[in-house]
Amino acid sequence: MVATQTASSLADIAARVEAGARLTFDEGVRLYASRDIHEIGRLANIVRRRLNGDRAYFNINRHINYSNFCVLRCKFCSFYRPYAKAGQASKVADLRLPQIGAPRDDGYELSLDDITARAREAYDAGATEVHIVGGLHPTLPFDFYLDMCRQIRAACPRICIKAFTAIEIIHFTRITRPRLSIRRVLEQLRDAGLDTLPGGGAEIFDDRVHDEVYQSKVGEQGWFDVHRTAHELGIPTNATMLYGHVERPEERIRHMVKLREQQDASLRTGTAAFNCFIPLSFIPDGSALADLPGPTGFDDLKTLAISRLMLDNIPHIKAFWIMQSAKLAQVSLNWGVDDLDGTVVYYDITKREGGAGNTHQELTVDQMRSLMREAGCRPVERDSLYRPVVRENGAWRLGGAA
């Protein structure tokens, strides 16, 4: 009985989703207020199938976190290490490949050769993308990041270099002398080999939440300036939302609406736009907000599904299984999600066991495919632009329609 009542309370929204209408802010808030997770999932799946059929995408990628030194002190972050404190012991940790994943309680920064070796190792293992982000390092010059792109491009000619959150891009504008504009930073990175920008650093576009949790970080305007400029330059990007800490449902919906408006504008200019939206489930372990419980599975599923419903103009909704868990990410394929990131392999920024957790976090291609098939989806390996990848005799090429 209760289920029927709650379903009927969403009946008008259901009719509008079925008719292909765009949901309003108020409707988004009502979806969050509903406990009818089945109906929300059913509606999200209508939109998922409309946009992506029965395809579930994944890519063979490698995450590289080049340094955890950071000038910021965001309360949600368990990754950063203060530079001065770590510097007393060893400013530059020259981590050789076999040490990847070794527990450490100090800061590190990878050398350019290490970063390139990790990218090359991934490339040789079949990766089509490297996803590179780090803290805002206080002393590395902009040339370090340009050389990083150049060296990876030379070592891995066909790999997609997806690198640097909007926050890092703004940081680069501040460390150059004379200061470079966002446009010039992006142009120089693109000329050095950068292909796309990841969606990180968005958190929640709201002043209250910003001031409470990541006060000294570049806010919403800076994040949008970077992504808008990237789109104008023909550089595709992604977008994220970090949920499940101190924000309220209305603030999540407002975040989505702001992204939807930017996507409308980017699509109008026609050069590039957001490829996908990734809701990031807050992992409290090891952060200054470790006393918070973090989102529940119920909240994770609702958030992924509501994202699909609100962001009708962003083609893909991605579950980052590192944060939602592989099990829940699989379930989410029936709650609006059409993309799982990715094989990953190593990930430093969040570790379920807290700061001391192992950084080796990997799903194999076989695991990925069987998770997707079991969920009733057709697995499609994609490149960073969602073009199907075909593998033959140990090599890969872009295929036709998926």
Measuring CA to CA, how many Å separate 399 from each of 105, 218, 381, 383, 389? Answer: 44, 40, 10, 10, 5
165 or 361: CB nearest ligand V47: 165
Q: Which of 338, 341, 381, 383 binds ligand V47 (CB under 6 A)?
A: 341
283 binds ligand V47, rule: CB under 6 A: yes
Could you tell me if 130 and 160 are in contact, meaning their C-beta atoms sit under 8 angstroms apart? yes
Q: How far is the CB of 294 from ligand V47 (least distance, A)?
A: 8
Closer residue to ligand V47, CB minimum distance, 120 or 318: 318
For residue 246, the minimal CB distance to ligand V47 (Å) is 13
Return d(Cα 31, Cα 158) in angstroms, integer: 42
Structural contact between residues 263 and 314, judged by C-beta atoms closer than 8 angstroms: yes
Taking CB under 6 A as the criterion, the residue among 278, 305, 317, 368 binding ligand V47 is: 278
Give the Cβ contact number of residue 262 at 10 Å.
Answer: 20
Task: Round to whole Å and give the CA distance between 180 and 166.
Answer: 15
Beta bridge pairs of residue 65: 133
Tell me which of 148, 350, 368, 369 binds ligand V47, using CB under 6 A: 350
Give the nearer residue to ligand V47 in terms of CB position, either 140 or 317.
Answer: 317
Interaction of residue 76 with ligand V47, rule CB under 6 A? yes
What are the tokens at 253? 């919906």
Site map 93..132 versus ligand V47, x via CB under 6 A: ----------------------------------------
Between residues 260 and 318, which has the closer beta carbon with respect to ligand V47?
318
Spell out the residues 6+ positions from residue 144 whose beta carbon is closer than 8 angstroms to its own. Answer: 112
Query: Whole-number minimum distance, CB 347 to ligand V47, in Å?
Result: 9
Residue facing ligand V47 at closest CB distance: 200
Tell me how far CA of residue 63 lies from CA of 131, 187, 265, 283, 382, in angstroms: 5, 23, 30, 18, 16
Stretch that binds ligand V47, among 70-78, 139-147, 153-161, 218-226 (CB under 6 A): 70-78
DSSP H/E element including 3:
helix 2-9
Q: Which is nearer to ligand V47, 77 or 93 (CB)?
A: 77
* CB nearer ligand V47, residue 159 or residue 283: 283
What b/e readout covers 336-371, taking b as 16+ CB neighbours within 10 angstroms?
bbbbbbbbbbbbbbbbeeebebebebebeeeebbeb
Binding interface with ligand V47 (CB under 6 A) = 76-78, 165, 198-201, 203, 238, 240, 242, 278, 280, 282-283, 287, 320, 323, 341, 349-350
